[in-house]
Amino acid sequence: MKMKVLGLAAAILFILSGCSMLNEAKDTLSYVNDASDYLNKATAFANDAPSIAQQAVSDQQATKKLQTMLQEMKQEINSFNKLQAPEIAADLHQQLVDQNNKLTACIDLYLKNIHNGLLDPSTLKNTEIFQSVQEISNILDQIKQLGQ
CATH of the domain at 59: 1.20.1440
**In-domain check, residue 102:** yes
Phi then psi for residue 117, to 5 deg, are 75, 25
**In-domain check, residue 10:** no
Cβ contact 49:74 at 8 Å: no
Cα 82 to Cα 26: distance, rounded to the nearest angstrom: 18
**In-domain check, residue 8:** no
The CA distances from residue 119 to 15, 31, 72, 85, 115, in Å, are: 60, 36, 18, 37, 8
Predicted local confidence at residue 129, as pLDDT: 66
**In-domain check, residue 92:** yes
Amino acid present at 1: M
Cβ contact 124:49 at 8 Å: yes
**Residue numbers of the domain that contains 79:** 28-146
**In-domain check, residue 16:** no
Give the three-state DSSP class for 23: helix
Cβ contact 85:107 at 8 Å: no
Predicted local confidence at residue 53, as pLDDT: 82
pLDDT per residue rounded down to tens, the chain (148 residues): 545 444 444 444 444 444 555 556 566 778 888 888 988 898 888 888 888 888 888 888 999 999 999 999 999 999 999 999 888 888 888 988 998 998 899 889 889 988 888 776 666 655 666 677 777 777 777 776 765 5
**In-domain check, residue 22:** no
**In-domain check, residue 80:** yes
Phi then psi for residue 118, to 5 deg, are -105, 45
**In-domain check, residue 91:** yes
How long, in residues, is the chain?
A: 148
Number of domains in the chain: 1
Predicted local confidence at residue 97, as pLDDT: 92
